[in-house]
Chains A and B, each alone.
Chain A
Amino acid sequence: QSALTQPPSASGSPGQSVTISCTGTSRDVGGYNYVSWYQQHPGKAPQVMIYEVSKRPSGVPDRFSGSKSGNTASLTVSGLQAEDEADYYCSSYAGSNNLVFGGGTKLTVL
C-alpha cells in the first residue's frame, strides 16, 4: 500500500479559509467512507479532527469540515486562527484491515 498524497504546505491569513487535499486510489480513499484527519502541533501527539470523511468528534470546532469526491478527500479550515497552525495528516481504511496515512501538510497561518 502506498501513502496517500497531500501537499507539503498550505497557508492562509487569519479569518480566511484553507483547504487541504488528500489523494488516494479506489482501493483506499475512493473505496470507503473511512477517511480521518489529524492535527499535530510540534512535539505533541496527533489529535483526530475529522473521521468518516465529515464527522467531527465532540470538542472539535465547527470551523473544521471534511468532504470527499472520488479518490480525493479534503479538509477545510474556515475562519483561520493562529492556533490552527500545525501539521495535518489524513488517513484512510485501505481494505483487509489495513490503514494508510498521507504524507502530511504543514499549515501556516500568515
Chain B
Amino acid sequence: QLQLQESGPGLVEPSETLSLTCTVSGGSISNSSYYWAWIRQPPGKGLEWIGSIYHIGRTYYNPSLKSRVTISVDTSKNHFSLKLSSVTAADTAVYYCARLRGSRFDPWGQGTLVTVSS
C-alpha cells in the first residue's frame, strides 16, 4: 500500500525559505503513470495546489506561487521536495504531499503544519 510522509521544520522565520520533503514508501516514485504534488491548507481555510513534479524532473506550479516555489525529485531516495522562498505569515499552513493520479490526488500524506513566525 502506497504511503507518503511529509517531513521538515515546523517553524520558519519570515523572509526565510520553507523546505519540506515527502518520502514515498510502498511504491516507486519513478512509476511513469504518476505525478507527485504538494498542496497546502491554511488553518481553517481551503486547499491550494502548490505544484506537481514528474520523476524525470518536469514541474508545473500554481501561477500565484510560481515565483517562489521549487519542487525537486530524488529518485534514488524515493522522495520529492518543496522549497518556498521569502515566506510570510500567509504561508502558515498544513502542507500535504500526494500522488497525482490523472487529475486526482490519491493518496495523501498525513500533512505537516508549518508556522511562519519569528
Chain A residues near B (Cβ < 8 Å): 1, 3, 32, 34, 36, 38, 45-48, 51-52, 57, 89, 91-93, 96-104
Contacts and interface: CB of A to CB of B under 8 A. Distances in A.
B60 A45 contact: no
Give the dominant DSSP class at B's interface: strand
B40 to A, nearest CB: 10
B104 interface: yes
Interface in B61-118: 62-64, 96, 100, 102-111
A45 B108 contact: yes
| B48, B49, B52, most chain A CB atoms within 10 A | B49
Contact of B108 (A47, A91, A98): A47
A45 B103 contact: no
Contacts of B64: 1
B52 A45 contact: no
Contact of B49 (A47, A52, A91): A91
A-B pairs, 6 with minimum CB distance:
A34-B103, A97-B60, A51-B104, A45-B108, A36-B104, A101-B47
